[in-house]
Amino acid sequence: MLGLGLVGTLILLTGMVAVAITMMFALWAGLLVAGLVVLVLVPLGIRDRHGRNGLQGLTARIAWWYGRSAGQHLYRGGPLGPAGTFRLPGLAAASYVVDAEDSYGRPFGMIVVPSTGHYTAVLECAPDGAALVDPEQVDIWVAYWGQWLASLAYEPGIVQAAVTIETAPDLGIRLEREVSAQLSPTAPELARQVLTDIVDTYPTGSAQVSARIALTYSAAPRPGARRRSPEEMAREIGTRLPGLSAGLGMTGAGEARPMTHEQLAEAVRIAYDPNAQVLIEQARAHGGSGLTWADAGPVSHEEYVDHYRHDGAASITWGMSEAPRGEVYSSVLTGLLQPHRDIARKRVTLLYRPHDPATAARIVQRDRRDAVFRAAVAHASARDTVAIEAARQTEREEATGAGLVRFAMLVTATVRSPDDLPAAAAAVDVLAPPARVQLRRMYRAQASAFAAALPIGIVLPDHLRVPQVVRDAM
């Protein structure tokens, strides 16, 4: 009612009853109660362009002030830190990695977050890209991607699937390593010179694009069930990874392989310290870096209201506050995913949380009824009529096997100097409108949003102090 949400509507109705009762005894008492009700409702009725009301903004400011007063915005790792290691800060501080193997004998690292009972395995993909690909083939990829997402609803215990696309400058070390390994000592001098020129010139201005899919499972397969041990979860996830990785082959994701403990630690270490990329890639050429999860975190970090500084780099993270409206084509995010000269490292993470089939059916039926009700009132807009058609289309698709997922997006821009942050922020502001998404900078939550955008299985709704059900009601 009046845009107040469920909580605001209940307060309004309760307040009206209280005012009517108190006015029966004293007019001044009724006016006093009415003033108190209005005072409570005003923050709930004021909303910004991202849909957040004044109460949510006020509580975020209070939580930030409390955390900053307690020094929670600072982190110091290493030998002089509390743990004596370079463990991850914030939400991932207690996480650790268990080494396991899937049914095909491929080793993988399983990330464990004890506070939420979540276990995550990460698949590294090699997407083919849409360049020089027929539109018919792209349509096939999109259709199979939809089927793959729908299949997640039938995965027991799955909580979230996070798709992370990261772009960064290509240092050319991988190309040099590949050419050196293939170059024959007896090759002609001309051929050797051509390959040397290629190694020297090709990496200039090129970008390295990586794609990773983090699959997060809950230790309890259903509410009220017994929590499974890490060993049980390693066996469970290991039996499911081959089927999930094989299904990605038809989506254009290329070969999907589970990431090992060392690969996970390297990816996270580079995210926190981009300057470590050179050393890590050089170490890979000589047998591996040997990094472990205890070495993956930053040496230090400091969180500010609107940005995040970590190991000599600085980052800004945005969250999607409004998804694209209307029809969405496969190329809608192309510009946002592409490398940009003003951003040293850019990470776009799509977070999918699938509904089980029974819940999905109830939701689409409820959405259709709500859309019909809104369109039946006086002064219904054309948007309400379109909403009915969209709700009916969603109901038809769900009935024919389509999945229903909650999805979100996080965009992280990392630069090597805080002085470059304004240019990076301006670049993201330019890239977002063509992608038809509305982004909101994650004020006072930069460190948490940065960690959630990494492929490490952080499920933000499960880390909230205020339950998500209550937040939705506001």
| Predicted local distance difference test score (pLDDT) of residue 208 | 87
- pLDDT surpassing 80 at residue 55: no
| Predicted local distance difference test score (pLDDT) of residue 377 | 67
Lookup: tokens for 273: 């310290």
Q: What b/e sequence results for 212-227 when a residue is b if at least 16 CB atoms lie within 10 Å of its CB, and e otherwise?
A: bbbbbbbbeeeeeeee
Instruction: Identify whether the C-beta of residue 230 lies closer than 8 Å to the C-beta of residue 98.
Output: yes
Q: In Å, what is the CA distance from 396 to each residue of 24, 248, 391, 403?
A: 54, 25, 9, 11
- pLDDT surpassing 80 at residue 467: no
Rg of the chain taking only CA atoms, in angstroms: 25
Residue 98: exposure state from Cβ atoms within 10 A (0-12, 13-18, ≥19): middle
| Predicted local distance difference test score (pLDDT) of residue 268 | 97
What's the average model confidence in pLDDT over 295-321? 95
| Predicted local distance difference test score (pLDDT) of residue 372 | 83
Q: In Å, what is the CA distance from 75 to each residue of 190, 311, 418?
A: 54, 11, 18
| Predicted local distance difference test score (pLDDT) of residue 233 | 96
Contacts of 98 by beta carbon, 8 Å cutoff, 6+ apart: 109, 110, 112, 230, 234
Instruction: Identify whether the C-beta of residue 166 lies closer than 8 Å to the C-beta of residue 209.
Output: yes
The 3 state secondary structure assigned to 142-186 is: HHHHHHHHHHHHHCCCEEEEEEEEEEEECCCHHHHHHHHHHCCCC
Over the stretch 362-412, which tens digit does the pLDDT of each residue have?
A: 888 888 888 887 777 656 677 777 788 888 888 888 888 778 899 999 999
| Predicted local distance difference test score (pLDDT) of residue 120 | 98
What's the average model confidence in pLDDT over 137-146? 92
Residue type, 149: L
Over the stretch 180-201, which tens digit does the pLDDT of each residue have?
A: 777 778 888 888 788 777 777 7
Largest Cα span, the chain: 105
Between 465 and 314, the higher pLDDT residue: 314
- pLDDT surpassing 60 at residue 474: no
Q: What b/e sequence results for 294-330 when a residue is b if at least 16 CB atoms lie within 10 Å of its CB, and e otherwise?
A: bbbbbbbbebbeebbbbbbbbbbbbbbbeeeeeeeee
Contacts of 461 by beta carbon, 8 Å cutoff, 6+ apart: 353, 468
Chain centroid, CA 376 distance in Å: 37
- pLDDT surpassing 60 at residue 222: yes
- E strands, 274-404, are 300-303, 308-310, 313-322, 345-354
Instruction: Identify whether the C-beta of residue 109 lies closer than 8 Å to the C-beta of residue 117.
Output: no
| Predicted local distance difference test score (pLDDT) of residue 379 | 65
| Predicted local distance difference test score (pLDDT) of residue 180 | 74
What's the pLDDT band for 431 if we cut at 50, 70, 90?
very high
The proportion of the chain whose per-residue pLDDT surpasses 90, expressed as a percent, equals 50
| Predicted local distance difference test score (pLDDT) of residue 472 | 54
What's the average model confidence in pLDDT over 248-272? 95
| 424 vs 399: CA distance, rounded Å | 43
Lookup: tokens for 178: 């590949």
| Predicted local distance difference test score (pLDDT) of residue 96 | 96
- pLDDT surpassing 80 at residue 78: yes
Between 439 and 469, the higher pLDDT residue: 439
76 CB neighbour count, 10 Å cutoff: 13
Between 28 and 382, the higher pLDDT residue: 28
| Ramachandran category for residue 61: left, alpha or beta (phi over 0 → left; psi -120 to 50 → alpha) | alpha
Mean pLDDT, all residues of the chain: 87
Instruction: Identify whether the C-beta of residue 48 lies closer than 8 Å to the C-beta of residue 63.
Output: no
Residue type, 424: A
- pLDDT surpassing 60 at residue 91: yes
Between 250 and 200, the higher pLDDT residue: 250
| Predicted local distance difference test score (pLDDT) of residue 22 | 86
Strands 257-258 and 207-218: unpaired
Q: What is the pTM of this model?
A: 0.88
For the chain, the domains span: 71-170+205-355+403-468
- pLDDT surpassing 80 at residue 165: yes
Closest CA to 400 of 150, 127, 111: 150
- pLDDT surpassing 80 at residue 470: no
Angle, helix 382-399 to helix 357-376, in steps of 10 degrees: 160
